[in-house]
Chain A
């Protein structure tokens, strides 16, 4: 594995002011490094600041202290080199699937032929061929998430941040989407930071799992997962790792 560090968070802390005037520490002294083309899964209980952390890395929110660099540059605002797939999809409802997927390159002035060719490639890759001219409100939750993934891939970011992208899906669809995402990632290697609260999903996808503590959250432990891909969630090795981590994992909040 290539060991060039692409995402680097150093001693991130985040405090929100609360209504009664006291401070609420969400993240405390959180540090993490993600290497080039590595798939890192961040797992932690709900409301422990995972989305906040993703927003900080994406430049959508400011850390109270600490610094984030992506590709060696300090992150201060949203940047097309940092692609985000959100839990609540955040597709543009007035645009078609194609309109959503080509949004990034179009905003950056890429020619129609070249951007649509790439958009089509990723629409095909996520299995939405034939749905190019549909609006998001006609699509199921799983399909909307596929659009979100294609949209980010088409923008060719340096890193991908995925914040519980399958959290709203039913178990069946979720499992399917995990398989597809893993397949896409193997075809198109990217540096990925993936957030979840589902351990099985984490082990299925990750090169490395980072376990978060409860609020104020910080890194509790890391696990390298070196099972061969694609993984079989019913295999003995898989279940063994799962048991080992779950001893350490408290997903209640």
Chain B
């Protein structure tokens, strides 16, 4: 202790072993300051750098447009209606993909037989990015909603399956042994040990695939759609309206943040046993 204090006097310590903690208030403050600096710099650049200002709208324009299209429709719909479409596509595709993915993953992670049967096809499909399914999905399901559910569903399926496999396989042999010692049957071993101990990893999959869905839906809508946040961006691109592009981007990223936060809250509730403290 004494030595480390002496050293501290001589030089500032690297952040990872520094003893002074940043309070939550401080970090919020810094976040706010840096955010404000970026916005101000952006606005200044638009105002005073002609090249930049010509192609890039400032934050003021973006916010103004965002407020405007809350009331006035772009295309057929207003901002929240577009967002609603995007959210609906994400949710339906996500839920279907997550259910199938978790079940498939748990089966593969638990049973060697299931793994042997499923893995050849799974291993071929797995590395194909969801976006690469867009043309095929359109051929199979047409230009409507079903193809979008399929694309989101596929991306969610792969991520959830991989995480569930990992979770099931990482189940501690010792805990399985303890359960058998207490008289659990093979089936109970699954429902009482493998399943609950995979839950944190399953949630990791649900979390990652939710973020991935926000990105995938954007791309899917940008390729082909008539409404949604991705369409706003596409429309902005096609009409040379960069402000609209940025509005679409901000809307989808804020939505993604909100979804991730909600998911994390659910996760904390569901697996409080795996978090230390409190």
Interface residues of A (CB under 8 A from B): 58, 60, 77-80, 82-84, 86, 88, 90, 92-95, 103-104, 107-108, 135-137, 151-152, 155
Q: How far is the CA of A50 from the CA of B172 in the complex (A)?
A: 21
Q: Does B268 contact A (CB under 8 A)?
A: no
Closest 9 pairs (CB-CB, A-B): A80-B183, A104-B182, A78-B180, A135-B273, A107-B184, A94-B196, A90-B178, A78-B181, A94-B273
Q: Does B36 contact A (CB under 8 A)?
A: no
For B276, the closest partner residue in chain A by CB is A137
Q: How far is the CA of A88 from the CA of B274 in the complex (A)?
A: 17
Indicate if the CB atoms of B183 and A94 lie closer than 8 Å: no
11 A–B pairs (Cβ distance < 8 Å), ordered by A: A80-B181, A80-B182, A88-B174, A90-B177, A92-B178, A92-B197, A93-B273, A93-B274, A103-B184, A137-B275, A151-B182
In the complex, what residues of A have CB within 8 A of residue B197's CB? 92-94
Indicate if the CB atoms of A94 and B274 lie closer than 8 Å: yes
Indicate if the CB atoms of A60 and B183 lie closer than 8 Å: no
Q: How far is the CA of A78 from the CA of B185 in the complex (A)?
A: 10
Indicate if the CB atoms of A107 and B192 lie closer than 8 Å: yes
Interface residues of B in 216-231 (CB under 8 A from A): none
In the complex, what residues of B have CB within 8 A of residue A103's CB? 179, 182, 184, 192
Task: Give the number of residues in B that approach A within 8 Å (Cβ atoms).
Answer: 24
Q: How far is the CB of B91 from chain A (nearest CB, A)?
A: 28
Indicate if the CB atoms of B181 and A83 lie closer than 8 Å: yes
Selected contact of B196 from candidates A86, A92, A107, CB within 8 Å: A92
In the complex, what residues of A have CB within 8 A of residue B271's CB? 94
Q: Does B33 contact A (CB under 8 A)?
A: no
Q: How far is the CA of A93 from the CA of B181 in the complex (A)?
A: 17
In the complex, what residues of A have CB within 8 A of residue B272's CB? 135
For B200, the closest partner residue in chain A by CB is A94
Secondary structure type dominating chain B contacts: helix
Q: Does B103 contact A (CB under 8 A)?
A: no
In the complex, what residues of B have CB within 8 A of residue A60's CB? 177, 180-181
Indicate if the CB atoms of A84 and B196 lie closer than 8 Å: no
Q: Does B199 contact A (CB under 8 A)?
A: yes
Q: Does B188 contact A (CB under 8 A)?
A: yes
In the complex, what residues of B have CB within 8 A of residue A77's CB? 180
In the complex, what residues of B have CB within 8 A of residue A136's CB? 273
In the complex, what residues of A have CB within 8 A of residue B184's CB? 103, 107
Indicate if the CB atoms of B182 and A107 lie closer than 8 Å: yes
Indicate if the CB atoms of A107 and B179 lie closer than 8 Å: yes
For A93, the closest partner residue in chain B by CB is B273
In the complex, what residues of A have CB within 8 A of residue B172's CB? 90
Q: Does B249 contact A (CB under 8 A)?
A: no
Q: How far is the CB of A204 from chain B (nearest CB, A)?
A: 26
Q: How far is the CB of B24 from chain A (nearest CB, A)?
A: 23
